[in-house]
Chain A
Amino acid sequence: MANKLKTLSKTSRRNYLTYVLVILAYLVLQLLSGSLSSSLKGMLVPICAYVVMAISLNLTVGILGELSLGHAGFMSVGAFTGVTAAVALQGVIPIAPLRLAIGMVVGAAFAALAGFLIGIPVLRLKGDYLAIVTLAFGEIIKSIFNNLYVGMDGNGLHFSLLSDSTDLAEGGKLIIGGPMGIGGIQKISTFTAGFLLVMITLVVVFNLVNSRSGRAIMAIRDNRIAAESVGVNITKYKMMAFVTSAALAGSAGTLFAMNYSTIVANKFDFNTSILVLVFVVLGGQGNMLGSIVAAAALTILPEALRQFADYRMLVYAIVLILVMLATNNPSFKSFWSRITGKRDKKEAA
């Protein structure tokens, strides 16, 4: 076993470490579930959703090297389409986990479609256009869902824009109610479902990164001209990373929305996109384990600071600044490498 571990490459070892840590965290939390506070228990599913968001954005930002400022837009697409699917299937599929899984797949599919559509023009361009377009995309998605009405009755789904003209038959139900969002959602998201989604996300992302395509994607990030000169299809590989990232964000959106009884489009605004970007930057670009830790820590932190009352967000901001300073401090870094030993030193060199 020890020999086998040695023969593994550095990245594989790191990936296995990530898997093991996530599984350990899940097992420990499951064992402790009786003694956990309601506060922490209530945060487990959102943490899973944010972890998936952070990993998927890290794929775009850290691996592909493009800045996306509208990641919450994909989450929103996934949340609304996934929940609509789950609600519509409520009568057909009585098993809640299966319904949740179908909801996630539908959410991921629609988010991937949205990512593909905006990717067609934007990913052909050089420069920071993706940041601007995704920023606009997030706002557009918010406006669309704020004005979209979807109802369901015996005749199937009805759609209308701007005002509620779905005109439902007797016994029909309005699923998406414009600015009211979706209400009365059955809470079927569980921590186990969240954990499985995190694992799937890790498997997808690690396998993509370690594949031939992944190397092409990173080659584009490192030097576009060099990559182009050896025959890498720039748009194709950019699209591959971006659509994967969007799809994962979509399933995270479904998971998140199904954890609350109500969801509104305004929840997935620019601030949420930036929050996820903060997870990525704090955890380290291209560092998936870092993203996981940062997403979990920064979701718990504001709740852990509740005793500071009105000064809570001030303290949160200061802690954020301190963490950023500390992790980028050369003396801190050398101190850290002294503890962790040779391996990281080699990495640094």
Chain B
Amino acid sequence: MMKKKFMSLMLVMAMVLSLAACGAKKEEAPASDAPASTPAAESGSAFKLGGTGPLTGGAAIYGTAAKNGATIAVDEINAMGGIQFDLKYEDDTHDAEKAVNAYNALKDWDMQISLGSVTSKPCEATAAETYADRIFALTPSASSTAVTEGKDNMFQMCFMDPNQGSASAQYIADKALATKVAVIWKNDDVYSKGIHDTFTAKANELGLEIVSDTTFADGNDTDFSVQLSGAQTNGADLVFLPMYYQPASLIFAQASSMNYAPKWFGVDGMDGILTMEGFDPALAEGVMLLTPFNADSTDERTASFVKAYQERFNEVPNQFAADAYDCVYAYKQALEAAGCTPDMSASDLCDKMVEQFTSMSFDGLTGEGMTWDASGAVSKSPKGMVIENGAYVGLD
């Protein structure tokens, strides 16, 4: 009896270990496809570039996209010769505590330059760490103002939340998309709240009438009938959704079941809805969103990035992937311009990078002629997009 139990325990252990081994192999497979990434792996010849992001859990689509985008850029750059990168992403499950743990794990790996964190709140926590440790960080997508506030070595590749809100209101007013607007937002989320506040302020200024302003929170984010009927009865002809794509997908489904079809307007968190598992893209037909990246662009660099991404990861890249891709190329440009070598210490690199980023201009997939001010915010212009036949199409 006792032996039997012991045996079964051992068997379970063996199964777990073999499963884990499979997982590790699968993870490594794509990286080793690229011939150039092998020499870069040797220490001393490559810049150690690390980042944290939600690779598992509810926000995993963002972290995975950023990781994939950065991986493509690193492999391309390593194949070119010249500057070499060694990339490592750690999982932070969209949690500040885990993000600091992930950051410390990267520090143990001797990270030299950082890609910050993918989402806002974790990035606020890791930004304090990179600031204290003098490691330069450029986040692809953490858009809250608190991320860069008071830190000279923290830069953003994406718009700040307040800019997104006011840009959205400006866009709606400029294109005369609607006069009566409803807003549904998540009141326990930094990202949603930041955009909502600046959107409503700007909308009032521009004479857009906000007829319904309703909220939801974690835990009651599955039923939106109250918010939607509020918007419907108040006659809103456009609903602004400053939120991530999971609640938005439910909103679309419920609105369609109650035969409510206003214009929908989202922000960059909406990006990713088309690749969401189990979501019918037909529901998102006609949804407009403001994002700096257009996967359907005919621009040569974008097209080749989208092609490479599709080949390797079987999906259309979203804005997060493009932002992370741009981050790596921005690093390449800055490191080359400053004449940095991989044997330099993280704090030396940090000083050089601060100098470079505040003075250089960078052309990437998410914008031309991007510049950064000393606060770490980027200046670039957003693009309006609309979903047509299950794909993003530029509005202009």
Residues of A within 8 A of B (CB): 37-39, 41-43, 46, 139, 142-143, 146-147, 178-181, 183-184, 187, 260-267, 269, 303, 306-315, 318, 322, 325-326, 329, 331
Other contacts beyond A41-B104, A181-B121, A262-B124: 16, CB < 8 A:
A43-B101, A46-B97, A139-B219, A146-B217, A179-B188, A179-B190, A180-B194, A183-B149, A184-B146, A262-B128, A263-B96, A267-B95, A306-B90, A310-B27, A311-B24, A318-B12
* Distance of A69 from chain B, by nearest CB (Å): 14
Q: Are B105 and A306 interface neighbours, CB within 8 A?
A: yes
Q: How far is the CA of A310 from the CA of B90 in the complex (A)?
A: 10
Residues of A within 8 A of B108 (CB): 37-39
Q: Choose from B56, B128, B129 the contact partner of A310 (Cβ within 8 Å).
A: B56
B23, CB-defined interface residue at 8 Å: yes
Residues of A within 8 A of B193 (CB): 178-180
B388, CB-defined interface residue at 8 Å: no
Q: Are A307 and B24 interface neighbours, CB within 8 A?
A: yes
Residues of A within 8 A of B144 (CB): 180
B125, CB-defined interface residue at 8 Å: yes
Q: Are A261 and B95 interface neighbours, CB within 8 A?
A: no
Q: Are B56 and A313 interface neighbours, CB within 8 A?
A: yes
Q: How far is the CA of A42 from the CA of B104 in the complex (A)?
A: 7
Q: Choose from A179, A267, A331 the contact partner of B5 (Cβ within 8 Å).
A: A331
Residues of B within 8 A of A310 (CB): 23, 27, 55-56, 91
Among A143, A303, A309, A325: residue with most chain B CB under 10 A: A309
Q: Are B13 and A309 interface neighbours, CB within 8 A?
A: no
Q: How far is the CA of A311 from the CA of B219 in the complex (A)?
A: 26
* Distance of A333 from chain B, by nearest CB (Å): 12
* Distance of B5 from chain A, by nearest CB (Å): 7
Q: Are B5 and A329 interface neighbours, CB within 8 A?
A: yes
Q: How far is the CA of A269 from the CA of B188 in the complex (A)?
A: 12
Q: Are B23 and A311 interface neighbours, CB within 8 A?
A: yes
Q: How far is the CA of A187 from the CA of B128 in the complex (A)?
A: 9
Residues of B within 8 A of A187 (CB): 128, 132
Residues of B within 8 A of A41 (CB): 104
B180, CB-defined interface residue at 8 Å: no
Residues of A within 8 A of B90 (CB): 306
Given contacts A41-B104, A178-B193, A312-B56, contact A264 B96 (CB under 8 A): yes
Query: Whose C-beta in chain B lies nearest to the C-beta of A180?
Result: B190
Q: Are A265 and B105 interface neighbours, CB within 8 A?
A: no
Q: Are A318 and B16 interface neighbours, CB within 8 A?
A: yes
Residues of A within 8 A of B103 (CB): 42
A-B contacts, 10 listed (Cβ < 8 Å): A38-B105, A180-B146, A183-B146, A262-B96, A262-B125, A263-B96, A310-B91, A311-B19, A311-B23, A312-B91
* Distance of A106 from chain B, by nearest CB (Å): 22
Q: How far is the CA of A11 from the CA of B185 in the complex (A)?
A: 55
B9, CB-defined interface residue at 8 Å: yes
Residues of A within 8 A of B261 (CB): none
Residues of B within 8 A of A43 (CB): 101, 104
B107, CB-defined interface residue at 8 Å: yes
User: SS class of chain A's interface: helix, strand, loop or mixed?
Assistant: helix
| Number of B interface residues in the complex (CB < 8 A) | 49
Q: Are B187 and A39 interface neighbours, CB within 8 A?
A: no
Residues of A within 8 A of B150 (CB): 184
B337, CB-defined interface residue at 8 Å: no
CB-contacts of B102-151 with A (<8 A): 102-105, 107-108, 121, 124-125, 127-129, 132, 144, 146, 149-150
Q: How far is the CA of A17 from the CA of B86 in the complex (A)?
A: 47
* Distance of A312 from chain B, by nearest CB (Å): 7
Q: How far is the CA of A334 from the CA of B188 in the complex (A)?
A: 51
* Distance of B311 from chain A, by nearest CB (Å): 21
Residues of A within 8 A of B16 (CB): 315, 318
Q: Are A38 and B107 interface neighbours, CB within 8 A?
A: yes
Q: Are A262 and B146 interface neighbours, CB within 8 A?
A: yes
Q: How far is the CA of A326 from the CA of B104 in the complex (A)?
A: 32
B20, CB-defined interface residue at 8 Å: yes
Residues of B within 8 A of A264 (CB): 96, 121, 188, 190
Q: Are B187 and A260 interface neighbours, CB within 8 A?
A: no
Q: Are B124 and A261 interface neighbours, CB within 8 A?
A: yes
* Distance of B340 from chain A, by nearest CB (Å): 23
* Distance of B34 from chain A, by nearest CB (Å): 19
Q: Are B104 and A39 interface neighbours, CB within 8 A?
A: yes
* Distance of A44 from chain B, by nearest CB (Å): 11
* Distance of B14 from chain A, by nearest CB (Å): 12
Q: How far is the CA of A312 from the CA of B93 in the complex (A)?
A: 11
Residues of B within 8 A of A331 (CB): 2, 5-6
Residues of B within 8 A of A269 (CB): 218
CB-contacts of B224-269 with A (<8 A): none
B181, CB-defined interface residue at 8 Å: no
Q: How far is the CA of A269 from the CA of B107 in the complex (A)?
A: 29
Q: Are A309 and B24 interface neighbours, CB within 8 A?
A: yes
* Distance of B20 from chain A, by nearest CB (Å): 5
Q: How far is the CA of A39 from the CA of B101 in the complex (A)?
A: 6
Residues of B within 8 A of A183 (CB): 124, 146, 149
B100, CB-defined interface residue at 8 Å: yes
Q: How far is the CA of A309 from the CA of B88 in the complex (A)?
A: 11
Given contacts A147-B187, A179-B193, A180-B193, contact A260 B107 (CB under 8 A): no
CB-contacts of B47-100 with A (<8 A): 55-56, 90-91, 95-97, 100
